[in-house]
Amino acid sequence: MRTENELEQINELENNPIEHQEPGNDPINGSWQSASRVLVRGNNPSEFLQGYLTSDLTRLVASQSPQEAPPGAAPTIPMSLCNLKGRVIVSGWVRELADDCLELAVHNTLATKLCETLAPYARFSRCELSIEPEHPQVVTSTDMNFLDSLSFIDQHELTTEDISESMNRRLISHGIAFLSAENSEKFLPQVLNLHTHGFVDFDKGCYLGQEIVARAQFRGQVKKTVQSFSWTGSMPKVGAAIESGIVIAVTSTPPGDTGKGLAVS
């Protein structure tokens, strides 16, 4: 029999599906300060990144002309970058700022790693990567699905309010793994459920780790997945191994001794 104190430290999986844990549908508008902006400039950066990211960049359309977009196109799409073993290095979003410039929104702790990983390939494509000092500006609405309404706006519309915790809660409630350094290069996209949220396109051509990711998908070799959990007592750290699995993301509810999170188990 466990003591009351031990029970408070145990992180248990919730029975409710992740998609029913929405904490509220209030719009979000502000500076995502736990995320960084990485710009890719040069000779056709979309064509360059198409060979490395898991999403299909032919779906991208400039944010200033969405009315001209073909079916399935969008100004912002989710993406991830894998290593040669199919493990996710970074997850995030990509949007087209101009024909010669794309913007990637990734976790602060992985912006440098993203640039270092892509830099050797970028030189051959006459592209350059840079980490911008301003954080991504995010807007969501209440009348659409969270991912469908998520927009990254131009820096001239800058607002200073930090919406990092609001974004963290919303991503956790939808089961979306916004990867940080603690879990980089550890999991396949399917383990993180990225494929269910549009971060992976199985119909596009080759990208880093594509053969392994595709084999795992079509042979049903993925045995672990992201699950939600609740915690009480001390908030577990991202990357820690707890009873619910390896912690991917975690958030607290005021006054701070309870909360929710995502873990791979």
Question: Between these two residues, 9 and 162, which has the higher pLDDT value?
Answer: 162
> For the chain, what is the radius of gyration of the CA atoms?
19
Residue 79 CB partners (closer than 8 Å, separation 6+): 53, 54, 55, 91, 92, 93, 94, 104, 199
Q: Kindly list the domain boundaries of the chain, sorted by start residue.
A: 4-264
For residue 6, is pLDDT > 80?
no
pTM above 0.85, yes or no: yes
Q: Of 4-8, 32-36, 132-136, 250-254, which range is least confident? A: 4-8
pLDDT top residue among 70 and 27: 27
Band (pLDDT 50/70/90 cuts) for residue 1 is very low
- The answer on pLDDT for 199 being more than 90 is yes
26: which 2 tokens?
């209030």
State the pLDDT at residue 96: 93
Phi, psi of 81 (to 5 degrees): -125, 125
Taking all residues of the chain, what is their mean pLDDT, rounded to a whole number? Answer: 88
* pLDDT for the residue numbered 67: 57
Tens digits of per-residue pLDDT, 64-98? 555 555 666 888 999 999 999 999 999 999 999 99
Q: Who wins on pLDDT, 160 or 50? A: 50
Q: How far apart are CA 73 and CA 57, in angstroms?
A: 9
CA torsion through residues 258, 172, 179, 214, sign:
positive
Q: Which pair of tokens denotes residue 232?
A: 């009480």
The DSSP-derived string for 204-244 is S---TTHHHHHHHHHTT-----EEEEEEESSPPPTT-EETT
pLDDT at 3: 41
Third-level CATH fold of 4-264: Gyrase A; domain 2 (3.30.1360)
Name the token pair of 224: 């672990």
**Residue 67 and residue 228: Cα distance in Å, rounded?**
37
pLDDT, position 142:
74
Mean local confidence (pLDDT), 188-192: 97
